[in-house]
Amino acid sequence: MKAIEVKHLSFCYDEKTPILNDVSFTLNQGETLTIVGKNGSGKSTLAKILVGLLPFKNGQIKIFENEIDPKKDIAATYHLAIVFQNPDNQFIASSVEDDIAFGLENYCVDPARMHDLVKKYAKMVGMENYLEFAPENLSGGQKQRVAIAGVLALNANIIIFDEATSMLDPEGKKDFHQTLNTLKKENPLLTIIMITHDKEEIINSDKILVLDKGEAVLFIKTNELNKYREQFLNLGLDLPFNYSLISELNKNGFAIDFSDDYQEIIKQL
């Protein structure tokens, strides 16, 4: 089933300057999409429209094959969740435990199961030893982990991470993607949208959407990235390290491509 279908979506904040211009893309249930693009290209605006925080007038959005009404509570109807870049805007409670529990309370989770669920998700993001801590005493990366745990605990159908890993170090990002893989094993229909500036995160997705000045200039499968390498670079975007590495190896006479087990080949060089 299609999880999200966006057709000819255009949007402006002030009735004059177009921020999104005729954007279309489709995401199936269980897929992960990465949205990339320079600052100001419209990524966050698109995320906010998808979760119903910004009502749109032009275009069509279907979620689980139902056309959405921008005036209704889209997030609650389709069980959509979003994690923003700045975790400070998302903390409500005075301890990590209460904060993760807050969303669960809104979903009327049985209080007897609450503590175990909070512990499970805190552990998933490596914050199980901080349950009693006040969020304001945590580092930026720790706050992002808690914000991520709070949303994972909601067991949403679609989760949007809007630069939600920007304060995590490379190890933290790796853990985060492993956590998502674990969740996808538990729920193969979980659909994810990642907005990121980190080129290495791209490889964890099935599809890539590139926004440039509000236009969807590229919408490809991640395993086709090599084919679109020039276009990607021309848009001012960086390729993940492995892609650049293979490109350099090719230029230097090593005939390796992505269908080869290049990790093994690289080890042998």
Contacting positions for ligand ADP (CB under 6 A): 13, 19, 37, 39-45
By C-beta, is 14 or 264 nearer to ligand ADP? 14
Task: Identify which of residues 42 and 52 has a Cβ nearer to ligand ADP in the complex.
Answer: 42
Please count the residues of the chain: 269
User: Cα separation of 187 and 226, whole Å?
Assistant: 30
Query: Nearest distance from residue 19's CB to ligand ADP, in Å?
Result: 4
CB 222 within 8 A of CB 34: yes
CB of 159 to ligand ADP, least distance (A): 17
Nearer to ligand ADP, 45 or 144 (CB): 45
Question: Residue 37 or residue 150: which is nearer to ligand ADP going by CB?
Answer: 37
CB of 43 to ligand ADP, least distance (A): 4
Nearest to 80 by CA among 208, 243, 191, 225: 191
Q: Which residue has the tokens 């966050």?
A: 44
Task: Give the distance from CA 237 to its chain's centroid.
Answer: 18
User: Reduced to 3 states, what is the DSSP secondary structure of residue 194?
Assistant: strand
Token couple for 109: 């989770």
**CB nearer to ligand ADP: pick between 42 and 103:** 42
Minimum CB–partner distance for residue 166 and ligand ADP (Å): 12
Distance CA(5)–CA(33), nearest Å, equals 12
Q: Least Å distance between CB 177 and ligand ADP?
A: 21
**Residue 79 backbone class (left: φ over 0; alpha: ψ -120 to 50; beta: rest):** left
